[in-house]
Amino acid sequence: MATPAATSVPAVVDAPTAGIAAVERYLTDTANPAALFALEWGEFCGAVHKLFKALDIPFVSVDLDSVPLQEDDLRANIRKALLAKIGSPTIPQVFIGGELIGGCSETLAANDSGYLLKRLTALKVTFDSEKWVVGADFLPNCVAK
């Protein structure tokens, strides 16, 4: 009787490692220093999107509920990696140049204090520096303003 041929076994993906690697890739991407970890349907994520768009801030949105991130459960592993990194399970989470700004409230407050634009300027990110907006204007209607 012949010995069966060896079969190729696919490499096992260390999912938590894949999540950590993905997060670090976004946080160290100098071409896209503004990274938003978000949900496509999230109202508070949408508020940050609207703020960035109003000020013409270029950003990458890592939409954790998007179809591409479902493969190999990458979305769950990115969330686990974010939790391990920052200690908070909430989404959105905004990073500028790898520095955690925070969730929606913190990002809107960073805008209002001028810190967000100061940070972007320090990184030489081009945005509409002539426009001034108030963070609360971007909150969903369900939030008292």
Mean pLDDT by 10 residues, the chain (145 residues): 41 64 95 96 96 97 93 91 92 97 97 97 95 94 71
List domains and CATH numbers for the chain: 31-138 (3.40.30.10)
Q: Is 47 exposed, middle or buried (0-12, 13-18, 19+ CB in 10 A)?
A: buried
User: Which pLDDT score is estimated for 74?
Assistant: 92
Q: State how far the Cα of 103 lies from the Cα of 87, in Å rounded to an integer.
A: 12
Side-chain-facing half-sphere of 39: CA atoms under 13 Å: 13
Say whether 29 sits in a helix, a strand or coil: coil
